[in-house]
């Protein structure tokens, strides 16, 4: 029931892939295939492709995301990009706390929280990623891990701002492995995320937040995952690099 009230969002996370000409070609390939989409379609491209993507998506329904943002407004932070810089380019979304950033680049819940606050105050829509490691699932602490991430990543963020945010549940063991969580496993955790939000905020807030599943989502498994009550969209890695595959996933929200 409530699912109909929420925005379905399919986002492609390109990770560290595509040069500018390749990015333009991929967007030109995706655009006609998703022009009648029932959901919001987002491409999260490398920083170097943002301007190309903004230009290539003009006149289409596709929105552009960055894959990270720094939490300070400006200053001596070599190699970093601020939220205002992204907004000035025309970027509308930003992926935060992806498990690859947590695993390889020392991202913590504290910095994810700061980045989320910075993104929201600049007017960006954060796609905040949470998810458990295989070892944590095997130790049966998935819910503790997810609750901790949600509590810390959204600490001090108002109900209105949480409602503007997207949460992506990405079990780390399912990313790039070809191992998808079953639709029931994914639904169980997405429902748990929603009940955690209801406890922290209210049922009204929890019902408003778009929750995506990510991790080896592909044209074959997307429809079943997206049919679940608490899965409102997807954050797609590998399959977002092929226009046809990505568009099939977009159509699966119908």
Kindly list the catalytic residues.
98, 170
Q: Are strands 233-236 and 9-13 parallel, antiparallel or unpaired?
A: parallel
| 214 sits near ligand 13P (criterion: CB under 6 A) | yes
Minimum Å distance from CB 67 to ligand 13P?
9
**Binders of ligand 13P among 222-241, rule CB under 6 A?**
235-239
x/- string (CB under 6 A) for ligand 13P, residues 11-40?
--x---------------------------
**Binders of ligand 13P among 132-191, rule CB under 6 A?**
170, 175-176
Q: Enter the DSSP assignment of 55.
A: H
Contact range with ligand 13P by CB under 6 A, out of 55-63, 153-161, 211-219, 246-254? 211-219
Run of H or E residues at 64: strand 62-66
Tell me the residue nearest to ligand 13P as measured from the CB.
237
Exposed, middle or buried, 91 (CB in 10 Å: 0-12/13-18/19+)? buried
| 131 sits near ligand 13P (criterion: CB under 6 A) | no
Exposed, middle or buried, 97 (CB in 10 Å: 0-12/13-18/19+)? buried
Minimum Å distance from CB 59 to ligand 13P?
27
Residues contributing to the site for ligand 13P (CB under 6 A): 13, 98, 170, 175-176, 214-217, 235-239
């Amino acid at each position: 029931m409530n699912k109909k009230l929420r925005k379905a969002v399919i986002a492609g996370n390109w990770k560290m892939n595509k040069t500018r000409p390749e990015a333009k070609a991929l967007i030109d390939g995706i655009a006609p295939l998703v022009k009648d989409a029932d959901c919001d379609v987002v491409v999260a491209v490398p920083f170097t492709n943002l301007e190309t993507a903004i230009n290539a998506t003009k006149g289409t329904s596709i929105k552009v995301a960055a894959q990270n943002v720094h939490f300070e407004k400006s200053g001596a932070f070599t190699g970093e990009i601020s939220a205002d810089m992204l907004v000035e380019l025309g970027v509308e979304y930003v992926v935060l706390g992806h498990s690859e950033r947590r695993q390889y680049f020392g991202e913590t819940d504290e910095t994810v929280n700061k980045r989320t606050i910075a993104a929201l105050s600049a007017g960006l829509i954060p796609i905040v990623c949470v998810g458990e490691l295989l070892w944590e699932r095997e130790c049966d602490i998935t819910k503790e891990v997810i609750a901790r991430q949600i509590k810390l990543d959204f600490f001090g963020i108002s109900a209105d701002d949480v409602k503007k945010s997207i949460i992506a549940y990405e079990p780390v063991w399912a990313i790039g492995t070809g191992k998808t969580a079953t639709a029931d496993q994914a639904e169980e955790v997405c429902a748990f995320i929603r009940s955690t939000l209801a406890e922290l905020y209210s049922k009204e807030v929890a019902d408003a937040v778009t929750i995506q599943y990510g991790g080896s989502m592909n044209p074959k498994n997307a429809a079943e995952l997206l049919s679940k009550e608490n899965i409102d969209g997807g954050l797609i890695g590998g399959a977002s690099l092929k226009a046809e595959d990505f568009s099939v996933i977009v159509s699966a929200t119908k």
